[in-house]
Amino acid sequence: MKLSVSEIFHSIQGESSFAGWPCAFVRLAGCGHGCLHCDTAYAEAPGTEMTIEGIIGRVDAIGAPLVEITGGEPLLQEDVYTLMEKLCNRRREIVLLETGGFLSVAGVDPRVHKIIDIKPPSSGVSEKNHQENIDLALQSGKDESGSFEFKIVVADRPDYLWARELLTRTGLADACTVMMGTVFGRLEPRSLAEWILEDRLRVRMQLQMHKYIWPPDMRGK
Ligand code: SF4
């Protein structure tokens, strides 16, 4: 079993309810969704073929309390499911999955904490958000299908209004954590903070912590 890997690195988890924890990131290669604000376009390039054992060895060498499988779009590679299962079986670290939200997470090991993007209109791909993931999260409290959180990164006021409507219509923010942040350099964090407070929106605001610690376009951080 092999996976195509863009990079494996040690950094601070920067944008989820786990933000601030040291984390081993496994970035799988390939995506193809074409989001306009993609900040990891380099992950589209062909990666290095690695065995699952080789990847786990690198994760062990890093020795962080979290491991995050990300991309690119990690769910495009069939063997990622086995990788996540093996990582969970070890019970050494919390296992996170970060996905673009276009593919179903139904087959992901329930022990994995799923961080799912919801892409707003400025991404150019909002029509590709996979509705089933929202439905799964809404059911998750009833059937123990694991932990979900969603991430919405907005670039402007229309994105925010779109997200507010979605959350109001679905009740998603009552069912699980919804993180809301800004596209770095596109929207002043203060504007988003004021909109959230004004609307009493039940979301957690976040900034991409790693982009404030290191240069925002730095790879491997
Ligand atoms: S899903 Fe993620 S990696 Fe893929 S294009 Fe969109 S932002 Fe980039």
Question: How many domains is the chain partitioned into structurally?
Answer: 1
Measured by CA distance, the residue closest to atom 1 of ligand 1 is: 100
* Mean pLDDT of all residues belonging to the chain: 94
Task: Say if ligand 1 is within 6 A of residue 151 CB.
Answer: no
Q: Is residue 60 part of a domain?
A: yes
pLDDT category at 141 given cuts 50, 70, 90 is: low
Q: What band does 26 get if pLDDT is binned at 50, 70 and 90? A: very high
Q: What is the spatial distance between Cα 20 and Cα 190, in angstroms, rounded to a whole number?
A: 21
Higher pLDDT, 69 or 211: 69
SS3 letters across the chain: CEEEEEEEEEEECCCCCCCCCEEEEEEECCCCCCCCCCCCHHHHCCCEEEEHHHHHHHHHHHCCCEEEEECCCHHHCCCHHHHHHHHHHHCCCEEEEEECCCCCCCCCCCCCEEEEECCCHHHCCHHHCCHHHHHHHHHHHHHCCCCEEEEEEECCHHHHHHHHHHHHHHCHHHHCEEEEEECCCCCCHHHHHHHHHHHCCCCEECCCHHHHHCCCCCCCC
Average pLDDT over residues 22-39: 95
**Owning domain of residue 112:** 2-213
* Distance from C-alpha of 117 to C-alpha of 172, rounded to nearest angstrom: 13
User: Given this model, what pLDDT does residue 144 score?
Assistant: 53
Adjacency order of strands within the sheet including 177-182: 48-51, 2-12, 22-28, 66-70, 94-99, 113-117, 148-154, 177-182, 204-205
23 lines ligand 1 (CB under 6 A): no
Give distance in angstroms: CA of 31 to centre of ligand 1: 6
- Please tell me the predicted confidence (pLDDT) of residue 143: 53
Q: Report CA(142)–ligand 1 centroid distance (Å).
A: 31
Residue 218 lies in a domain: no
Q: Residue 34 maps to which CATH number?
A: 3.20.20.70
| Ligand 1 atom with minimal separation from the 100 CA | 1
- Answer yes or no: is the C-beta of 126 below 6 A from any ligand 1 atom: no
Q: Separation of 130 CA from ligand 1 center, angstroms?
A: 14
Confidence class for position 21, pLDDT limits 50, 70, 90: very high
**C-alpha 198 to ligand 1 mean position (Å):** 30
- Percent of the chain residues topping a pLDDT of 70: 97
Domain membership of residue 185 (yes or no) is yes
- Report the atom number in ligand 1 closest to the C-alpha of 102: 1
With a 6 A CB cut-off, is 205 part of the ligand 1 pocket?
no
Nearest atom in ligand 1 to 125's CA:
6
What is the rounded distance in angstroms from the CA atom of residue 69 to the CA atom of residue 48? Answer: 15
Is residue 221 in some structural domain? no
Please tell me if the CB atom of residue 38 comes closer than 6 angstroms to any atom of ligand 1: yes
Of 27, 38, 151, the one to substitute when testing ligand 1's pocket (max ligand atoms within 8 A of C-beta) is: 38
Convert the pLDDT of each residue in 67-118 to its tens digit: 999 999 999 999 999 999 999 999 999 999 999 999 999 999 999 999 999 9
pLDDT digits (tens, 9 = 90+) for 150-189: 999 999 999 999 999 999 999 999 999 999 999 998 999 9
Ligand 1 pocket test: pick from 28, 73, 126, 154 the residue with the most ligand atoms within 8 Å of its Cβ.
73
Residue 168 lies in a domain: yes
pLDDT surpasses 80 at 6: yes
pTM of the model: 0.94
Q: Is the pLDDT of residue 24 over 80?
A: yes
